[in-house]
Amino acid sequence: MLAGTISTCILIVFPMPSIDLAYEAAIPTEIPKVSGVEKKIILLKPRGFCAGVVRAIDVVKIALDLYGGPIYVRKEIVHNRHVVEELRQAGAIFVEELGEVPEGARVIFSAHGVSPAVREEAKQRRLQVIDATCPLVTKVHLEAVKLAKKGYTIVLIGHRDHDEVIGTLGEAPEWTILVSDVNDVDRLQIKDPDRVAYLTQTTLSLDETKDIVNRLLERFPKIMGPKTQDICYATENRQLAVKAVAPLCQALLVVGSQNSSNSRRLVEVCEKSGVPAYLLDDCSEVESRMLQNVDTVAVTAGASAPEHLVEELIAHLRSRGYANLEEAEIKEEDVRFTLPSDLEKFTPRLHTLRI
């Protein structure tokens, strides 16, 4: 085992003795070499599903198992094309708005949360709601409500069109101002600079958010922040892993969909380190140019990307000459969220329902 320290993170890299049987069959018996160089994959850990994503997928699967179809899901349950398609094939019906759901039907709210207006619409249409909102997103919503009741102007740091931000803005729209970068902060006009607070989207870049918060503190020295940061633990851990490994590779491949905010941030973090990075839905999107002159390629996955897509990508890279596989673990994750109260008693059924 090789142990070292990079920046403030502990990097543990150890050779993996063999590839999992799930993708062993895809590895050719003769692995080509380029210019005599033995090429390597560094597989980042933690990667892939976070606790909120696992919980949301479980909610859909349990609901389908318990009630059968039709089960409607407002928006993508998580931002991953493959996950949505698998659940659609299992019987879930994905809709953009509640108007597409028959009155009185059963509907699931996605992990990104919804605004009070959406909840009220569901109530008016007598929909049977199952709420799969990530508890970390719910925390931000509750903070917004509490601050608004105390008369604080809320500066919400996030991306305007993201489902999570739309839901958070809806909690206290008359009290909330959205900013996406430092320039937005410079343009802010706050009625009472002594009563201002900030909240953040849970899937942002740590560095970018830090710059925005620092500028907020410069402009509004009395600004309040959350007692604990709003950025999700999984978002933070995956970004720290990318930062730690970037100096050791010539390219990073991130498994995740284009509309996944946390996956896109992994690409940005790596590129800011000076290393090219590419966001892929799956291994079919790997292009030769991505691996040109790359002897060591790092692989990770966004918080909504399933592990089987990582396995398929590893098999694809092995077929292209990347013979060695090492795993770099930055931080151990052991976070679990309970199911919504109306489904919690059905937890034992989960072992038969996993993707």
Q: Name residue, tokens 């500066």.
A: 155
Q: How far is CA 87 from CA 56, 60, 72, 79, in A?
A: 11, 8, 11, 13
348 preceded by cis ω (within 30°)? no
Say if residue 317 is exposed, middle or buried (CB neighbours under 10 Å; 0-12, 13-18, 19+): buried
What is the rounded distance in angstroms from the CA atom of residue 122 to the CA atom of residue 120? Answer: 5
Query: Minimal CA–CA distance to 79: which of 59, 107, 52, 101?
Result: 52
Respond yes or no: is residue 174 known to be catalytic.
no
Q: What is the C-alpha end-to-end distance of the chain, expressed in Å?
A: 32
Helix (H, G, I), strand (E, B) or coil at 50: coil
Catalytic choice (76, 143, 164, 311): 164
Helix (H, G, I), strand (E, B) or coil at 331: coil
The helix (run of H) or strand (run of E) holding residue 178 is strand 176-179
Query: Hey, how many other C-beta atoms are within 10 angstroms of the C-beta on 323?
Result: 14
Query: Minimal CA–CA distance to 139: which of 226, 198, 214?
Result: 226
| Residues tagged active-site | 164
